[in-house]
């Protein structure tokens, strides 16, 4: 396979670039994007760049932009660019005539000017964009909600099916426990691509029952997802794959993709799966440039559904293959040492081989005694057999001692960033382990030795003590009268008493404090509770004074934030929050979602104790790998393996199913291959030195990856799954034969006593109080109509850390009184008479109207489904979904009057309706304020632009109020317009209101929503201000997007739709107006004048 040259011919067709650790996959992608654009092979908007994680996507997007910027700036001076020896790509782009170089620079300028059009996305983001763009051919509801974790739905389905089939069914003894059923369901749903075995049959033995249950769970989860209009990430892939594979929709869908994207680059391709590869193959292979970059030696995510077989299949199909052969991470001697250790090893598959790489950097950046690659051998000593536990303790003690020795040795490091040579610090060192148990063992030992250390892991935060601590707190809040719960809370980190303090605690006093915390929770939620409790109990200062306090505080905050987010997503209450958390803790062993992965507790200079999976993509000057010898093979109840056709398979039948033992062996064989790749990832994180430990435990060493690698004579021909453990002398002699002078050494690790590090004394910094040298701009703010209106009513936030609640709380109950007129309207009952009020109900209705398509031919069914979905998400529980959907139908069919050319919402196509237009407008210069405007400034504008006959002309008097008028308009104004309708060439602002305008002790009728009543409601609730601000937002939006924009032509006014008063097409007032529809068309000159005042002040 040839080495890839970034400055050679641009890849064409389908090309697989095989990387190795440290060879610059992201650098290569950014360079290729720059070349394709600069050389005119494709515009930036014709490139698709795909990777496999949100964080990686943002990093890749930033790196691509940085490379484009540096090339654009460099090419501005072609002569200097040709002399730029530090940047070979820039030199290459500067070759040729000045005209050609100028053209390349111009293309880069254009690309950066439209960088937002670049598609740099995760695979799932790309699939979602494509499916929505394909419309009905994409088999996805544009209003469907994408959820990362389906655990709650899976649990619900399992409980329903388990009860139906085996508790209330005919089976006397269920073939599996409820917990086992949940594990089985999670496995088959989360690995939806796997073929299930054994084959389904009508038998009633345990394997057949388990198989039918697995199939039923898959089918029922899929049915409920469609019913509730939710999607998992894998659904995006499978639906796009089905669309592309369909003989009717596939060719046109693929043609659209190829017309849109001429060049596709895929990063981290080793983490793909067969469906993802099938999508790329069907869409682009053979018809576009498709560049797949990955390192199969780092394929370590089988447990998340990644499948290295898909990479290998793509490599076989590709038109071209090449390798990235230059390592930008590690010193030359370290690379030679690793080459001697791996010896061209095949890592689980003969096609996945460790290739030699060259070093981009010369010399050695670490000045320390010892080779760049070291193997430390822990002998059995006087015992015949070394148990796993004592072996781990011996290795851990030696690791800590080595780190203490290194930090005390005066070793010097020359950082890669060009900064001066300096002493090695704890933050230069990483200890990479496989399991959470090993992570905790090393972390605790380092802290005990006085070495600062922090943890990095992808494990769920709910597995930590913080999850249990929060359960203790919520249980105590749930029943504050129970002394047992109070005492458990007293010794938790939240209160922090020790045994002596617990003995002396005043339970009654603690109970009173707990009741106060309960009131905080009930009034303001989890976030306010945690802030209040932290302040009352001095939680940060108390925990940070402990050895691992930073870690514990980080975890407590993380769990608290997760609880807060869950409560915001759907009203939980105290009992609901407690049950939600208990479920998360119970299921945390299988939870690998990004949001729940444990956070790094500190950015300080500390040794990083990292799991292998969390270390991927990272690099450290010095790396220790203590447990490559320690591998325990667990028997899997649901083995995962590949069959002879390379299909991924799950045996769900259990130990009694046919060939279960063979499937278990196949599963273990693939796991042993991934173990070798995990070892490769761990060892290749190092820049300057890596140390691995070998220990001869009696049980775990024979199948461990480091042992198998080191004691296999020809690893390039394959590595056995179990290798006998030799004697101490034979092991040391055999390993020593692998040594390479100056690169790889093997030494025996002596029995070490507990080490302790004495941090070098530092000159204490002189402390002084900071001096505020500027005036605080107290009038600058980010505000909204809701915040301005709250200020009008002297509302103040309850606690500073609580975000503004995103509810439609601008809908007061406004009883109206007026002499009877339009008496016939008194006989028309409001369709929403029986429905509740309040902010939560308003939010529910707004959300339904945001997502439903009023023009749907199946409107009744779609509206009912959307109402049920949103009630499930938002509440309130117990609301009659059928009643709400029936009550909303008349509002969708009510004519909207002249501003809408007499049309109703059901007559306005989705292409002419923009829902939830979010905006954030600078006021008086935004970040660079040029003065201050005030609400009273708008009063004069209303007087000068509105005729006296305008129904809202009197609002100017309200804005002249001394308190109200002094509200500053300086900073940013944000908000969200419910809908913008395009009526012909005009654009109309729409705002939905669920206000109850009638008297609370009388039935609600259409009479309560005649025009005079709505005018009074508008003025009472300050809706004219909202209407003006939203019209200004629309004005600024349109002037950037509509060619030939003219406010007098394109601004179409404002419609306030009081939904409770909209009774259908046949209900009209005496004056021809429609109850519930308030139309106002402020003069375009007024809208422009208000916009100018917000931008520049009064002239």
Contact, 123 vs 276, CB < 8 A?
yes
What pLDDT, on a 0 to 100 scale, did the predictor assign at position 465?
Answer: 84
* 3-class DSSP assignment, residue 759: coil
Residues 827 and 953 occupy one common structural domain: yes
* 3-class DSSP assignment, residue 602: coil
C-alpha dist (Å) from residue 142 to 231, 465, 570, 850, 990: 11, 41, 22, 12, 21
| pLDDT profile of the chain (1099 residues), mean per 10 | 94 96 94 96 94 82 94 92 88 92 95 87 84 67 74 90 78 83 93 92 85 94 88 87 91 92 94 92 95 96 89 96 96 96 95 95 90 94 82 95 94 88 94 93 93 81 85 88 84 84 78 88 86 89 80 88 80 80 74 50 74 92 97 87 93 91 94 96 97 94 96 92 93 92 92 84 81 83 78 42 41 48 82 87 90 90 88 77 93 95 94 91 83 87 94 91 79 92 95 89 90 93 94 93 92 96 91 93 95 82
Q: For the domain that residue 957 is a member of, what is the CATH number? A: 3.90.320.10
What pLDDT, on a 0 to 100 scale, did the predictor assign at position 802?
Answer: 31
Q: For the domain that residue 715 is a member of, what is the CATH number? A: 3.40.50.300
**Whole-angstrom Cα Rg for the chain:** 34
Cα 515 versus chain centre, distance? 36
What pLDDT, on a 0 to 100 scale, did the predictor assign at position 505?
Answer: 73
CA distance 739 to 735: 7
Residues 979 and 1069 occupy one common structural domain: yes
Tokens 């250390």 sit on residue: 453
Domain count of the fold of the chain: 5
Number of neighbouring beta carbons within 10 Å of residue 756:
12
Among 591, 623, 658, identify where a domain stops: 591
C-alpha dist (Å) from residue 2 to 14, 21, 346, 371, 503: 15, 18, 19, 31, 74
294: β partners: 18
* 3-class DSSP assignment, residue 53: coil
User: Nearest-CA neighbor of 751 among 353, 391, 308?
Assistant: 391
Residue 614 lies in a domain: yes
Cα 425 versus chain centre, distance? 32
Residue 524 lies in a domain: yes
C-alpha dist (Å) from residue 706 to 58, 372, 721, 1026: 35, 17, 12, 67
Among 568, 591, 614, identify where a domain stops: 591
What pLDDT, on a 0 to 100 scale, did the predictor assign at position 601?
Answer: 52
CA distance 554 to 457: 13
CA distance 694 to 568: 50
CA distance 832 to 1060: 5
End-to-end CA distance of the chain: 71
C-alpha dist (Å) from residue 796 to 329, 799, 838: 54, 9, 19
Q: Is 961 annotated in the active site?
A: no
The boundaries of the domain holding residue 1032 are 781-797+822-831+894-1096
Q: Which two tokens stand for residue 78?
A: 């072609």
Residues 75 and 118 occupy one common structural domain: yes
Residues 439 and 583 occupy one common structural domain: no
Residue 494 lies in a domain: yes
What pLDDT, on a 0 to 100 scale, did the predictor assign at position 818?
Answer: 45
Residues 531 and 488 occupy one common structural domain: yes
Residue 881 lies in a domain: no
Residue 809 lies in a domain: no
Residues 544 and 655 occupy one common structural domain: no
What pLDDT, on a 0 to 100 scale, did the predictor assign at position 800?
Answer: 32
14: β partners: 290
Q: At what angle do helices 1011-1020 and 1023-1041 cross, to 10 degrees?
A: 90
Residues 119 and 248 occupy one common structural domain: yes
Residue 816 lies in a domain: no
Tokens 């095949």 sit on residue: 346
Q: Which two tokens stand for residue 940?
A: 């004069």
Q: Which two tokens stand for residue 1008?
A: 């309560």
What pLDDT, on a 0 to 100 scale, did the predictor assign at position 806?
Answer: 45
CA distance 583 to 1090: 52
Among 591, 614, 642, identify where a domain stops: 591
Residues 488 and 371 occupy one common structural domain: no
- The DSSP result for 771-835, as a single string, is ---S---TT-EEEEHHHHHHHHTT---S-TTSPPP-S--------------SGGGGGSB-TTTTS
Report phi then psi at 255, rounded to 5. -60, -40
In the DSSP assignment, the letter for residue 743 is T
CA distance 590 to 595: 14
Residue 568 lies in a domain: yes
| Residue 947 CB burial class (10 angstroms; 0-12, 13-18, ≥19) | exposed
Catalytic residue among 991, 1008, 1066, 1071: 991
Number of neighbouring beta carbons within 10 Å of residue 52:
22
The number of residues in the chain equals 1099
Residues 903 and 1038 occupy one common structural domain: yes
| Residue 408 CB burial class (10 angstroms; 0-12, 13-18, ≥19) | middle
In the DSSP assignment, the letter for residue 740 is B
Number of neighbouring beta carbons within 10 Å of residue 486:
20
User: Nearest-CA neighbor of 118 among 216, 220, 50?
Assistant: 50
* 3-class DSSP assignment, residue 845: helix
Contact, 980 vs 910, CB < 8 A?
no
Residues 1005 and 1058 occupy one common structural domain: yes
972: β partners: 782, 922
Residues 607 and 736 occupy one common structural domain: yes
Residue 689 lies in a domain: yes
Residues 262 and 373 occupy one common structural domain: no
pTM here is 0.72
What pLDDT, on a 0 to 100 scale, did the predictor assign at position 791?
Answer: 61
């Amino acid at each position: 396979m040839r080495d890839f040259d970034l400055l050679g011919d641009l890849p064409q067709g389908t090309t697989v670039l095989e990387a190795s650790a440290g060879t610059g996959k992201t650098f290569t992608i950014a360079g290729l994007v720059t070349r394709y654009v600069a050389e005119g092979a494709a515009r930036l908007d014709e490139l698709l760049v795909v990777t496999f994680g949100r964080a990686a996507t943002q990093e890749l997007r930033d790196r691509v932009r940085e490379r484009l910027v540096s090339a654009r700036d460099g090419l501005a001076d072609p002569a200097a660019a040709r002399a730029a020896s530090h940047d070979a790509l820039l030199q290459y782009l500067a070759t040729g005539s000045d005209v050609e170089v100028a053209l390349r620079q111009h293309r880069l300028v254009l690309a950066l000017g439209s960088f937002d059009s670049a598609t740099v996305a995760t695979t799932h983001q790309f699939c979602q964009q494509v499916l929505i763009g394909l419309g009905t051919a994409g088999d996805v509801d544009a209003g469907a909600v994408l959820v990362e974790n389906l655990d709650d739905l899976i649990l619900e389905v399992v409980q329903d099916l388990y009860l139906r089939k085996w508790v209330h069914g005919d089976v006397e003894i269920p073939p599996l426990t409820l917990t086992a059923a949940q594990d089985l369901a999670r496995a088959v749903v989360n690995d939806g691509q796997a073929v299930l075995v054994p084959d389904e049959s009508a038998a009633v033995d345990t394997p057949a029952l388990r198989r039918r249950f697995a199939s039923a769970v898959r089918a029922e989860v899929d049915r409920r997802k469609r019913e509730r209009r939710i999607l998992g990430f894998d659904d995006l892939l499978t639906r796009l794959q089905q669309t592309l594979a369909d003989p009717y929709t596939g060719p046109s869908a693929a043609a659209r993709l190829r017309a849109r994207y001429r060049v596709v680059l895929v990063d981290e391709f080793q983490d793909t799966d067969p469906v993802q590869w099938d999508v790329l193959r069907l869409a682009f292979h053979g018809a576009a440039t498709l560049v797949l970059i990955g390192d199969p030696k780092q394929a370590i995510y089988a447990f998340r559904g990644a499948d290295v077989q898909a990479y290998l299949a793509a490599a076989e199909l590709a038109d071209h293959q090449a390798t990235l052969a230059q390592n930008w991470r590690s010193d030359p001697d370290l690379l030679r040492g690793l080459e001697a250790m791996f010896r061209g090893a095949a890592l689980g598959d003969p096609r996945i081989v460790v290739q030699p790489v060259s070093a981009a950097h010369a010399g050695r950046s670490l000045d320390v005694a010892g080779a760049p690659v070291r193997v430390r051998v822990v002998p059995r000593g006087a015992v015949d057999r070394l148990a796993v536990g004592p072996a781990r303790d011996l290795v851990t003690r030696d690791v800590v001692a080595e780190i203490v020795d290194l930090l005390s040795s005066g070793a010097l490091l020359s950082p890669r960033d060009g900064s001066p040579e300096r002493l090695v610090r704890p933050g230069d060192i990483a200890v990479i382990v496989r399991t959470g148990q090993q992570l905790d063992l090393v972390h605790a030992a380092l802290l005990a030795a006085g070495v600062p250390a922090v943890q990095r892991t992808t494990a769920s935060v709910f597995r930590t003590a913080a999850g249990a601590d929060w359960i203790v707190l919520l249980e105590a809040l749930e029943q504050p009268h129970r002394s047992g719960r109070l005492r458990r809370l007293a010794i938790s980190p939240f209160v922090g008493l020790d045994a002596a303090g617990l003995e002396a605690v005043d339970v009654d006093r603690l109970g009173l404090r707990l009741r106060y915390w309960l009131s905080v929770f009930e009034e303001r939620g989890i976030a306010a509770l945690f802030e209040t409790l932290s302040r009352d109990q001095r939680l940060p200062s108390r925990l940070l004074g402990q050895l691992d306090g930073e870690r514990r505080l980080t975890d407590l905050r993380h769990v608290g934030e997760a609880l807060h987010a869950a409560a915001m997503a759907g009203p939980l209450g105290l009992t609901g929050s407690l049950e939600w958390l208990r479920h998360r803790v119970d299921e945390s062993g299988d939870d690998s979602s990004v949001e729940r992965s444990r956070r790094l507790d500190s950015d300080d200079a500390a040794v990083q104790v990292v799991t292998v999976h969390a270390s991927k993509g990272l690099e450290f000057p010095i790396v220790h790998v203590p447990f490559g010898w320690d591998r325990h093979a667990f028997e899997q109840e649901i083995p995962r393996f590949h069959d002879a056709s390379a299909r991924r398979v799950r045996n769900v039948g259990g130990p009694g199913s046919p060939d279960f033992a063979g499937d278990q062996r196949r599963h273990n064989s693939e796991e042993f291959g991934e173990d070798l790749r995990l070892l490769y990832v761990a060892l290749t994180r190092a820049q300057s030195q890596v140390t691995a430990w070998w220990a001869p435990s009696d049980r775990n060493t024979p199948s461990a990856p480091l042992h198998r690698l080191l004691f296999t004579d020809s690893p390039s021909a394959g590595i056995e799954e179990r290798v006998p453990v030799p004697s101490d002398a034979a092991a040391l002699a055999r390993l020593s034969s692998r040594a390479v002078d100056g690169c790889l050494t093997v030494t025996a690790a002596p029995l070490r006593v507990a080490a302790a590090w004495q941090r070098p004394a530092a000159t204490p910094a002189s402390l002084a109080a900071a001096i505020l040298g500027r005036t605080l701009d107290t009038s600058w703010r980010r505000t909204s109509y809701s915040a301005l209106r709250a200020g009008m009513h002297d509302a103040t936030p309850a606690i500073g850390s609580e975000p503004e609640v995103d509810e439609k709380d601008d809908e007061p109950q406004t009883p109206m009184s007026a002499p009877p007129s339009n008496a016939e309207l008194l006989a028309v009952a409001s369709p929403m008479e029986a429905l509740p009020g309040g902010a939560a109900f308003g939010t529910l209705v707004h959300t339904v109207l945001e997502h439903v398509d009023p023009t749907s031919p199946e409107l009744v069914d779609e509206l009912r489904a959307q109402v049920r979905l949103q009630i499930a998400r938002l509440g309130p529980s117990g609301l009659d979904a059928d009643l709400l959907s029936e009550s909303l139908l008349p509002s969708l069919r009510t004519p909207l009057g002249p501003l809408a050319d007499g049309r109703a919402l059901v007559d306005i196509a989705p292409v002419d309706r923009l829902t939830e237009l979010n905006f954030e407008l600078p006021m008086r210069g935004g970040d660079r304020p040029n003065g201050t405007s005030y609400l009273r400034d708008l009063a004069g504008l209303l007087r000068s632009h509105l005729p006296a006959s305008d129904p809202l002309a009197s609002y100017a008097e309200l804005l002249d109020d001394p308190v109200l008028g002094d509200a500053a308009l300086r900073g940013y104004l944000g908000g969200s317009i419910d809908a913008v309708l395009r009526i012909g060439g005009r654009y109309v602002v729409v705002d939905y209101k669920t206000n109850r305008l009638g008297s609370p002790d009388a039935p609600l009728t259409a009479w309560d929503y005649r025009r005079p009543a709505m005018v009074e409601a508008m003025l009472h609730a300050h809706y004219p201000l909202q209407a003006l601000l939203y019209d200004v937002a629309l004005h600024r939006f349109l002037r950037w997007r509509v060619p030939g924009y003219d406010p007098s032509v394109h601004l179409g006014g404002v419609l306030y739709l009081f939904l409770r008063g909209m009774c259908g097409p046949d209900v009209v007032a005496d004056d021809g107006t429609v109850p519930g529809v308030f139309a106002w068309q402020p003069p375009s000159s007024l809208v422009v004048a208000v916009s100018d005042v917000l931008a520049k002040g009064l002239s």
